[in-house]
Structure 1
Amino acid sequence: MKLTAITLALLASASYAYADQTPEECSALRDTVFDGGHVTSARVMSPEGLPQYCEVRATALPAISIEVRLPLSGWNGKFYQTGCGGFCGILGRADGGESWVNAMRPGLERGYATATSDSGHHALAVTEATWAQDNPNAERDWGWRSIGETNRIAQVMIDAFYGAPSSQAIFQGCSTGGRMAHVAAHRYPEMFDGIISGAPAMDYTGLVGTAMSWTLQANTAEDGSQILGPDEAAKIGAAVMQQCDGADGTEDGVIEDPRACEVDYSGLGLSNQQLDTLAKWREGPRNAAGEQLYPGGIPEGSEPFWWLWLTGNAEGAGKLVSGFAGGFTRHMAFADDPGTEYSPLSFDFETDPARMATAASVYNGDTPDLSAFRAAGGKMIVYHGWADSIVTPYKTVEWYDQAAELAGGETALNENVKLFMVPGLDHCGILPGPNGVNWSSLDPMTPLEAWMNEGTAPSSIMVE
């Protein structure tokens, strides 16, 4: 949250000590009144390994559920907001696991007041999209409004609890949370002083509508059977590693940059149909004229993760691309939702990309113009795994190059925005890579804090 220069000077000059808050003061937040919503509960939480905090649940009308966590002691005077994954719909889901991605916990551990939301609807799974059927208001809330409303209500609670506004605000998110991070930079350029964006699904219509439908269609035979499965993925992955591992000069079990990788698949015993599917996966979606509809495709080195995202495994788990593409095209992508009878296997690459124009204006955050955010002094760290098979890293690289051009060059852009491409990293680091790299290998928060507070530009986000 941006404050006036006078307020910032006062906060900086006075070693501001925030008094400890009591459980009674937490309970009193139940009576907090604000426009466009209401508090539903306020209680003290004492989780193992975390500071004791006041958990406030609130609703921003019509249907955005928000959770705010306020440390009872040791508040650092700042605010930390997080995004959510997939189609969201499960309040605070990320804090149910160990990962810091999309979780409030990292902020709370450092003394921040924190908040997140369900993005405006309740769902039983992050691949469920029926909430959006014929519901443009819910789509608007998911697309962008929940970001601003979560911030607004969190600031009301912070002021009511501590008697002072937060002096600094950070947003952190990955995947859909990364999309939200980019939307925040564009729609709310003065709201966050620092932004962490991971594997950003910033062009949802192009990615989940066009590219994922392409991936599914390319891997479905005329009889409906799957062309590439987990066995083929293992063969392909082994060939990629054998032929490309040393392309960067070091054989370490990681593809440093898939763009430098050329693989001969002729000796793997793949059928012509399987080779055709693989070629389509690598190049990404095109129309009948051969025009690229979305940048790049599925990168070399991502094969160990295909079971979760693309092919499933022998036990029938994974293949989440089907759920995401299906839910999106049925209920979220088009002005007239076709509903449950529709299949992404029917997606028309000649006409359907244009039919998603309205959805693109509501959901997407892939514009490379960051001038307003940069003018406000914001700092942004973007990271993406080179081994991401569900949100292609090539889109992020393209966006960064375009952003640098608009900013007057990479040096100028790097005054406010830095991109880190991580070899061997799965989508948001969910699964460990061949070299063990996953979410726990990354720490973008420490360098972001140093960048904002000390002016030290980050050179790495890897845990030392």
Structure 2
Amino acid sequence: MKYLAPATALAVAAAVPAFAQQSDDRCTALRDAVVDGAAVTSARVVPAGDTLPAYCEVRATARPAISIEVRLPMEGWNGKFYQAGCGGYCGILGRADASGGWVNAMRPGLERGYATATSDSGHLGLSVTDASWAMSNPGAERDWGWRSIGETNRVGQALVSAFYDGAAAEQAIFQGCSTGGRMAHVAAQRYPEMFDGIISGAPAMDYTGLVGTKMAWLVQANTDAEGNQILGPGEADLIGEAVMSQCDATDGTEDGLIADPRACDIDLSALACNGEDGEACLSTAEMDTLEKWRQGPRDSSGAQLYPGGIPEGSERFWWLWLTGNPDGAGKLVPAFVTDFGRYMAFPTDPGPEWSPQDFDFETDPARLETMAQVYNGDSPDLSAFREAGGKMIVWHGWADSIVTPYKTVEWYEQAAEEAGGEAALEENVALFMIPGLDHCGILPGQDGLNAASVDPMTPMEAWLNEGTRPMSVMAE
């Protein structure tokens, strides 16, 4: 897993002061760097600003079309490498870094002196819900599924060596959330020796099950015979109030957070309208949708097709993912499943005429298996990663209504069984389920709880460098 033999590592460590400060010319000279299977397209110095040091920004393309950005500290490089994933269908280089946050961004590594890298996963997309690039394009699907992870690392490491006098990174960390979390799991399975530490947040580790089957179920359940939406933002508020009144104190504390939705034996039948419909109750159709959302996708025999449903306590975030808001924003779940079904889910793409209403829960789950081999990272077998000595932190919000936390818990339990017990798995994997946290902490929850409340990087560094197993990922 390390990139240097012991003798080489000592030589590099001794040489660090010699290249602690790099010149501007050395950065711009990277425009002429030769990297197998790739071409450098630009190199420039970005001055220090905010919390980031001055760095050399290098952009390159790994053939055929993986756009990569590498950021190399002009001084104070810590001798290590940090790689970030991307969200949704990706396609927008550096999108996460433009937000100022840390999720799927190079920021956490660069702030700490790491050489950092990310990619667009192999295509240009108009938005993170745009998957039209995948239409009849198996090469691009492979790049998004797994190849961009390895190519970003390979090109990034080559540029590190070119910039720092032939030195190689002595340690590597990967961080990603949502699709970036899927990439984290794929990295552990396909590239088990590439990263010493892997940080996976809210992992959408199985796109075929999550986006293909579950999201189609959610959309169909919330669409009436005329194609109209059934549950909207007003109903979400009503449901959320009822849920919190029954579940908040389940963990012994009334704090606006549900510690574990599975512990609440909830009964929402009192929300049903008796006689006339009104804003203070749910119609028969709305109650039916709510029940389907809570139980999750099933076939005609009643067999569960995906673990769990939408967790209690996530209702305040439904507008972004499920229902939209009165201004027309949100409803990303329908957008994700629509493009996935049209362009990515099946071996032969049905194209723009396909709708989530076309998904057949009797036959289509089996048809997804081909592409599952390209995209998914939900195998519980981490044996190769564990044998390489890798450490993995997985974090997920219990109030995530798009990437169900129940799948993450199921994966962890299966991984523990595969490893021979939870004690054995805990030597390499630490799972943290966070009450009240939205998907990747995007929207603020109770008392402002969001991504800024989470810091998995500090405990990861302590685990790798000091051998201290993480006890929390909450920021201090």
- Normalised by the size of structure 1, how large is the TM-score? 0.98
8 Å Cα contact 1:254/1:435 also seen in 2: no
Residues 141 and 245 from structure 1, CA distance in 2 versus in 1: closer, same or farther, beyond 3 angstroms?
Answer: same
Are 2:333 and 1:333 equivalent residues in the alignment?
Answer: no
Distance in 2 between the 1:291 and 1:5 partners?
52
Which deviations, in whole Å up to 9, do the C-alpha atoms of 1:311-341 show, x marking residues without a partner?
A: 0011110000111000100000001100000
1:2 equivalenced with 2:2 (yes/no):
yes
Q: Distance in 2 between matches of 1:11 and 1:410?
A: 39
Which letter does structure 2 place at the counterpart of 1:119? S
SS in 2 for 1:38: strand
Whole-angstrom distance in 1 between the partners of 2:48 and 2:363: 52
How far is 1:5 from its partner? 4.4
- Contact kept, 8 Å, 1:8 with 1:167, in 2: the verdict is no
Counterpart of 1:3, as a letter, is Y
2:385 counterpart residue number: 373
How far apart, CA to CA, are the structure 1 residues paired with 2:264 and 2:293? 15
1:459 maps to 471
Name the residue aligned to 1:243: 246
**Deviation (angstroms), 1:2:** 2.2
Aligned twin of 1:395: 407
| CA displacement at 1:356 relative to structure 2 | 1.1
1:417 aligned partner:
429
Secondary structure of 1:41's match? strand
Query: In the TM superposition, what is the alpha-carbon distance from 1:14 to its structure 2 partner?
Result: 4.3
Query: In structure 2, what residue type is equivalent to 1:307?
Result: W
C-alpha change, 1:75 and 1:221, in structure 2 (3 Å) is same
SS of the residue 1:377 aligns to: coil
The AA in structure 1 aligned to 2:45 is V
1:55 maps to 2:57: yes
1:120 and 2:132 are equivalent in the alignment = no
Letter of the 2:368 counterpart: M
CA contact (8 A) 2:247 2:266 kept: yes
Aligned partners of 2:414, 2:403: CA distance in 1, in Å? 18
The number of residues matched between the two structures is 464
Alpha-carbon separation, structure 1, partners of 2:8 and 2:208: 40
Report the equivalent of 1:27: 28
User: 8 Å contact 1:102–1:172 — kept in the other structure?
Assistant: yes
Q: Does 1:224 align with 2:236?
A: no
Contact 2:4 2:169 in 1 (8 A): no
Distance 1:331 1:68 in 2: 30
- Supply the distance in 2 between the matched residues of 1:359 and 1:425 (Cα, whole angstroms): 30
- Which residue number in structure 1 is paired with residue 334 of structure 2? 322
1:265 offset after TM fit, Å?
1.8
Q: 1:141-152 maps to which residues of 2 (within 5 A)?
A: 141-152=143-154
Q: Distance in 2 between matches of 1:152 and 1:424?
A: 38
- Please tell me the residue identity of whatever aligns with 1:420: F
1:264 to 261, 264, 267: 267
Aligned ranges 1:166-205 → 2 under 5 Å: 166-205=169-208
Under a length normalisation based on structure 2, what TM-score does the superposition of the two structures give? 0.96
Is 2:236 the partner of 1:233?
yes
For 2:463 and 2:11, how far apart are their aligned partners in 1? 19
Find the aligned partners of 1:435 and 1:285 in 2 and give their Cα distance: 33
Structure 2: unaligned runs, 5 residues or longer: 272-280
Give me the identity figure in percent.
72
**Could you tell me whether the CA contact under 8 Å between 1:424 and 1:435 is conserved in 2?**
no
Alpha-carbon shift at residue 12 of structure 1 (Å): 9.0
Equivalent pair of 2:185/2:205 in contact (CA under 8 Å): yes
CA displacement at 1:16 relative to structure 2: 4.1
Matched with 2:70 is 68
> Which residue identity is paired with 2:211?
V
Residue type at the aligned position of 1:24:
D
**For residue 296 of structure 1, what is the amino acid of its counterpart?**
G
- Cα distance in 1 for partners of 2:432, 2:128 equals 27
What is the CA-CA distance between 1:47 and the residue it aligns to?
A: 4.6
- 1:307 and 2:319 matched: yes
Distance 1:209 1:314 in 2: 27
Residues of 2 paired with 1:215 and 1:271: CA distance?
Answer: 18
TM-align CA RMSD: 1.2
Tell me the SS of whatever aligns to 2:360.
coil
Matching of residues 86-97 of structure 1 within 5 Å: 86-97=88-99
Contact 1:194 1:452 survives alignment (8 Å) = yes
Distance 1:463 1:227 in 2: 39
Q: For 1:405-431, what per-residue CA distance to the aligned partner results, in whole angstroms no more than 9, with x for missing partners?
A: 111111110110000000000000000
Partners of 1:437 and 1:102 lie apart in 2 by 18
